[in-house]
Structure 1
Amino acid sequence: MSLYLCVDCGGSKTSAVVCDASGNIVGRASGGPSNIAYLTITSFIETIQTTVGDALKTCTTPASVDTVALPPSELEFAAAWFGISGADSSSIIESVMGPLSSLLGIPKGPRLSVANDAHLLAAPIRMHEDIFHAVTVIGGTGSIVVSFKEREDGELQELGRVGGWGWILGDEGGGYSIGREAVRQVLAEQDIHSTMKSPPPEGSLRASLKKYFDIKDVMELLTEVYVLDSTPSTVVDIDNRAHKYISREKRLSSLSPLVFTAAFEDKDPLALKVLRMCAKDLADQICIVVGDANDEAPRLVKASESVICFGGSVVGLKVYRDMVLDELTAKGHVFKYVEFVDDCAAVGAAGLRLKYKD
């Protein structure tokens, strides 16, 4: 049986999907984190070995109850596609290429594709025969925008890239920036009213942040946001102070659900303002890679001739995705196709099979 393997290697989990020559998913499994920026090569390969071995359990005859040893003896991979978080340089990709080749029994070459995880999100380009360009937009805790061209040989060529700088330097439009902007706007409103007779209105967003951080005064937000990360040995007495025991990054990104609730359930104008600002920031990043190509910018792609592929928890919310698309429309960029990919490994496996269908 010739199998097509796609593995989505993320910072929180690893997803592996195996499909057959007809495009049917015949194996699937999830494993631990596999962001190569945070792991040794050995730890990374161990995670891949376990996850792919688990995905192959249902591919054997009879189905195995144990993790399948790699490389598999009775099965054959026709091709494999790895999208790896943290694989942002050719040196990192080369460092895992050899071990993956040995692990899977696939020679180094075109049938073993290793790239940044944003590449997997571009898989829908292979499902629309009338386009050759895609713009991928990852909007989860963080954000990144990457544009692609499908070459004549079926390979994806990266054209432009914006963001992916992490929470300290960027992540505009993602969950972290939404949480940060919510705190900023509440504090800014407090500053504006410091010279006024009346206090700021006690809207839903303001009230939610005070409840989340268990504070009475909005200005206490500064202390709660800046408190140092706890160490692994910290004895946790959570009670209502759980935020003190998570990293500062997650302390802010975990606020994004509160912002969406305040904006769309409670109709809080300040929360709506926050989301519009963040949606505009993300749209501005997308605009960097789209437009009419010219001598100075030959790698721009035309939105009307491309598919935009969204992926991630925040842009998974249609109401926010529509905000981003509305911002793009206002700037004159309307994409021919819009896709939300909620299972990159499955879509990637299907796209890989289509690449080699002949």
Structure 2
Amino acid sequence: MHYAFLAVDAGGTHTRATLIDAHGRVCGRGEAGAANWSVHSRAAWAAAIRKSVAQACASLGGVPPRTHLWVGTAGVQVGDGVEAAEALVREVVACASVRVTNDAALLHRASGRPCLVAIAGTGSVVLAFSTPTTVQQWGGLGWLLGDEGSAFALGRAAVRAVLTDRVGTHDLRTRLERAAWPLDADGVRRLYASDNPRALLASLAPCVTAAAEAGDDVASTLLREETAMLATYLAQAMASLPAAEAADLRLGGALMQVALSSVS
């Protein structure tokens, strides 16, 4: 293989690497744990990149010569300097070139048209590309300052509702119990003692979406409340694009794959 391309999606729950050759054929895939540039230590972030890349290239005995690597990572803000992240990647992966961007930028495909990209996974972010090199960002400030409409936001809202007795005996409470979440002070202690409380809360998001689809009023209300700001960001991002041009829309993240016929 004379040259190849590696794409690494480093998110708040998983890091996934895909190796393709010059003809677009997938040659390998790899996976590691969470790698958020703003949340995790530099050592942990680099280790996740290195592990996922090593797995993706294992069948070839290592990273092929002249490989071009693009790392899209949660926690990198549009307009921020990425030199430190790129330098760190070069230390752990030997390749021809390195590019580091926000993880949402991985979904952008230069087509000559403006593009709107939105991710709602463990975290959330919205990007508007008026040109391939001109981009604005909404959200993406992480779990302490943002992550509106994300799995983390839904999981946190559900636990809050339970602990304030907002849920009562509704279906959402039952689903949280099935997820083995302690609905008392033990649950609070477990959360604060967790190595990754953000991911722990995000893992409860399916309880909210499933309960909403089953007709639970509390879950439906939580879903509307927690996604309202993300919807506002999408509207603002769309308004920022040239009005006379058709725009591409690209959606990513687990929550963007959930179809909820009962929630409007």
Deviation at 1:100, TM superposition (A): 3.8
Asked if structure 2 preserves the Cα contact closer than 8 Å seen for 1:146 and 1:158, the reply is: no
Identify which of 64, 84, 90 aligns with 2:73: 84
* 1:13 matched residue in structure 2: 14
Deviation at 1:307, TM superposition (A): 1.9
* 1:57 matched residue in structure 2: 58
Are residue 149 (structure 1) and residue 98 (structure 2) matched? no
Are residue 256 (structure 1) and residue 205 (structure 2) matched? yes
Deviation at 1:290, TM superposition (A): 1.5
* 2:152 matched residue in structure 1: 176
* 2:104 matched residue in structure 1: 118
Superposition pairs of residues 1-358 of structure 1, within 5 angstroms? 1-37=2-38, 38-40=40-42, 44-58=45-59, 60=60, 64=61, 68=62, 72=64, 75-77=65-67, 79-88=68-77, 93-101=82-90, 103-106=93-96, 112-122=98-108, 125-126=109-110, 129=111, 131-150=112-131, 156-183=132-159, 202-209=169-176, 213-214=181-182, 223=185, 226-227=188-189, 229=191, 231=193, 248-250=197-199, 252-265=201-214, 267-291=215-239, 299-302=240-243, 305-319=246-260
1:39 and 1:255 mapped to 2: Cα distance?
25
1:314-333: CA deviations, max 9, x gaps? 2221338x96xx7xxxxxxx
Instruction: Report the RMSD for the aligned CA atoms in angstroms.
Output: 3.5
Asked if structure 1 preserves the Cα contact closer than 8 Å seen for 2:114 and 2:242, the reply is: yes
Deviation at 1:141, TM superposition (A): 2.3
Asked if structure 1 preserves the Cα contact closer than 8 Å seen for 2:191 and 2:200, the reply is: no
Asked if structure 2 preserves the Cα contact closer than 8 Å seen for 1:175 and 1:256, the reply is: yes
Q: Percent identity at matched positions? A: 27
- Residue 132 of structure 1 aligns to which amino acid in structure 2? R
1:18 alignment partner, SS class? strand
2:208 and 2:244 mapped to 1: Cα distance?
30
1:284-330: CA deviations, max 9, x gaps? 12112121xxxxxxx5354972122211122221338x96xx7xxxx
Asked if structure 2 preserves the Cα contact closer than 8 Å seen for 1:147 and 1:301, the reply is: no
> TM-score of the superposition, structure 1-length normalised?
0.60
Deviation at 1:90, TM superposition (A): 6.2
* Aligned CA distance change for structure 1 residues 274 and 15 (closer, same or farther; 3 Å): same
Deviation at 1:247, TM superposition (A): 5.7
1:16 alignment partner, SS class? strand
> TM-score of the superposition, structure 2-length normalised?
0.79
Question: Could you list the runs of 5+ residues in structure 1 that have no partner in the other structure?
Answer: 151-155, 191-199, 232-244, 292-298, 327-358
2:4 alignment partner, SS class? strand
Deviation at 1:16, TM superposition (A): 1.7
* Aligned CA distance change for structure 1 residues 94 and 255 (closer, same or farther; 3 Å): same
Question: Could you list the runs of 5+ residues in structure 2 that have no partner in the other structure?
Answer: none
Deviation at 1:117, TM superposition (A): 1.1
1:118 alignment partner, SS class? helix
Deviation at 1:27, TM superposition (A): 2.3
Asked if structure 1 preserves the Cα contact closer than 8 Å seen for 2:116 and 2:248, the reply is: yes
1:36 alignment partner, SS class? coil
- Residue 23 of structure 1 aligns to which amino acid in structure 2? G
Tell me the number of residue pairs that the alignment of Structure 1 and Structure 2 aligns.
Answer: 260
